[in-house]
Amino acid sequence: MSLIDRIRAKQAKVGVIGLGYVGLPLAVEFARGGFDVTGFDVDEQKITAIAGGKSYIPDVPDVELCAAVKAGKLGATTDMRRLAEMDAIDICVPTPLRKTKDPDLSYVVKAVEAVAATLRKEQLVILESTTYPGTTEEVVQPMLEARGLAAETDFFLAFSPERVDPGNAQFHTRTIPKVVGGVGPVSTAAASALYGAVVSTVVPVSSTRVAEMVKLLENTFRAVNIGLVNEIALMCHKMDIGVWEVIDAAKTKPFGFMPFYPGPGLGGHCIPIDPSYLSWKARQYGFECRFIELAAQVNGSMPEYVVQRIGEALNSVKKPINGSRVHLFGVAYKKDVGDVRESPSLDILELLTQRGAEVSYTDPYVEGLEHAGRKLQSVPFDAAVAGRYDCAVVATDHRAFDFRRIAGMQLVVDTRNALKTPAPHVFRL
């Protein structure tokens, strides 16, 4: 029986390397679809949690994880030697940037090394980690072929960009269309068959490079448009125009306009990072991404601008930042998640501390965090709104916050337009 036949019969064993925001929902979806799934991760705590049916990813309910585990469809291990048992292997590991803004593929390389060590004929390997165009062919394929097996002939290799949007209840793994590009038509067909068994729509493309570029275009599109609207917000402030009213009016146009909203900066693992992958790769071809890099500069400057607005707010009541008590509502990078990776709130906390402010925060999804060499603990919401702070800052508009009560505090800087009613003591972007 061929690999595609085993996939269609749900007899293929599926392995997922990396059990984070991308890998765990994918593993659960494969298990729900009837496949025998094994998750691989170096974090023992994740393995223990999965074995106990306890989800550490908000988008994966305990009941779904527990059902998959109890049915014997999902297990997890740190033993990479078991990759030899898998018919299909999805690599879902992080791809951060180094401080020099060039791609750090160390996690991908380690995962591929583990796959290569046990690679056998008729296995399907799919990379989902966001990366620059050419990674699958230039990095992954040579590593897998080093022991003599050939891609597209002996084994199958493809790239399929993850499209996870943490906290989005409308779109999840099954309902988000899956782009798939193989190193050849057989690899594309095999990967399409695998995803087609559990995802509503599969979008095959002509190559891995196209699939890799799709992801970067999607996130660069968002980063550039957010950069544009952030610059418009700065401009509107200078002109004494309400940017939020401008956007609300503009989005009534039924064509040719898509609303984006200003904020304290970009956060998360994708949007602030992916455009840098594209710029880095483009420079190798002698192409300068001026538009993309300008957007990154604008977005990167927003935490500084928020601190400037905090200073203006405090100045209105004749107080300096130095010595003032400033409290942030929300430190996660977006609403209703607990992810603080690249969160602009962390930059705001750092800049305020450098200016001598006493900082604290409330976030129902982030119990504690390291800041300036000490641990900060989230202040309960009721205590925060009753606290004697010199300035409150809405940095993340979690639905759990009662914004009417925040509006009742003595001085507020609202970076998310969460406090809809204008008031003299509320300062917006």
Domain parsing of the chain, residue ranges? 3-206, 223-428
**Alpha carbon distances (Å) from 382 to 148, 326, 358:** 63, 16, 19
**Catalytic residue, candidates 66, 92, 236, 270:** 270
Backbone angles phi, psi at 355, to 5 degrees: -90, 5
Q: Any bridge partners for residue 392, and if so which? A: 327, 412
Residue with tokens 């200016």: 355
Burial zone of 148 (CB within 10 Å; 0-12 exposed, 13-18 middle, 19+ buried): exposed
Better-scored residue on pLDDT, 352 or 339 = 352
Residue 97 identity? L
Q: What percent of the chain has pLDDT over 90?
A: 86
Query: Which residues fall within 8 angstroms of residue 400, CB to CB, at 6 or more apart?
Result: 336, 364, 381
Alpha carbons 70 and 63: distance in angstroms, whole number: 10
What is the maximum alpha-carbon separation in the chain?
Answer: 78
pLDDT on residue 199:
95
CA atoms within 13 A on the CB side of 211: 33
pLDDT on residue 141:
98
Same fold, 3-206 and 223-428: yes
Query: pLDDT per residue over 370-381, tens digit each?
Result: 887 889 999 999
**What is the token pair recorded at 79?**
């033993």
**What is the token pair recorded at 181?**
């590009």
236 given a catalytic annotation: no
Which of 313, 342, 305 has the alpha carbon at shortest distance from 231? Answer: 305
CATH classification of 223-428, choosing from 3.10.129.10, 3.30.750.24, 3.30.465.10, 3.40.50.720?
A: 3.40.50.720
**What is the token pair recorded at 94?**
């992080």
pLDDT on residue 371:
83
Given a cut of 90, whether residue 422 has pLDDT beyond it is: no
Alpha carbons 305 and 311: distance in angstroms, whole number: 10
DSSP 380: P
3-state DSSP call for residue 388?
Answer: coil
Q: Packing angle between helix 302-315 and helix 344-354, nearest 10 degrees?
A: 50
DSSP string, 128-167: -S---TTHIIIIIHHHHHTTS--BTTTBEEEE------TT
Average pLDDT over every residue of 140-163: 97
pLDDT on residue 45:
96
Alpha carbons 62 and 321: distance in angstroms, whole number: 44
Task: Give the strand order in the sheet containing 13-17.
Answer: 74-77, 36-40, 13-17, 88-91, 124-127, 156-159, 178-182, 202-204
pLDDT on residue 59:
86
Confidence of residue 213 (pLDDT cuts 50, 70, 90): very high
The architecture of the domain spanning 3-206 is 3-Layer(aba) Sandwich (3.40)
Q: Which of 96-100, 155-159, 383-387 has the lowest mean pLDDT?
A: 96-100
**What is the token pair recorded at 63?**
């009941």
Given a cut of 90, whether residue 206 has pLDDT beyond it is: yes
Alpha carbons 141 and 281: distance in angstroms, whole number: 18
Alpha carbons 266 and 409: distance in angstroms, whole number: 26
Given a cut of 80, whether residue 174 has pLDDT beyond it is: yes
Alpha carbons 71 and 386: distance in angstroms, whole number: 48
Which run of H or of E encompasses 85?
none
**What is the token pair recorded at 219?**
């996130």
DSSP 377: E
Better-scored residue on pLDDT, 166 or 64 = 64
Alpha carbons 417 and 411: distance in angstroms, whole number: 15
Confidence of residue 100 (pLDDT cuts 50, 70, 90): confident
Between the two ends of the chain, the Cα-to-Cα distance in Å is 61
Average pLDDT over every residue of 253-258: 96
Average pLDDT over every residue of 308-323: 97
Alpha carbons 226 and 294: distance in angstroms, whole number: 12
3-state DSSP call for residue 80?
Answer: helix
Calculate the average pLDDT of the chain.
94
Alpha carbons 74 and 96: distance in angstroms, whole number: 28
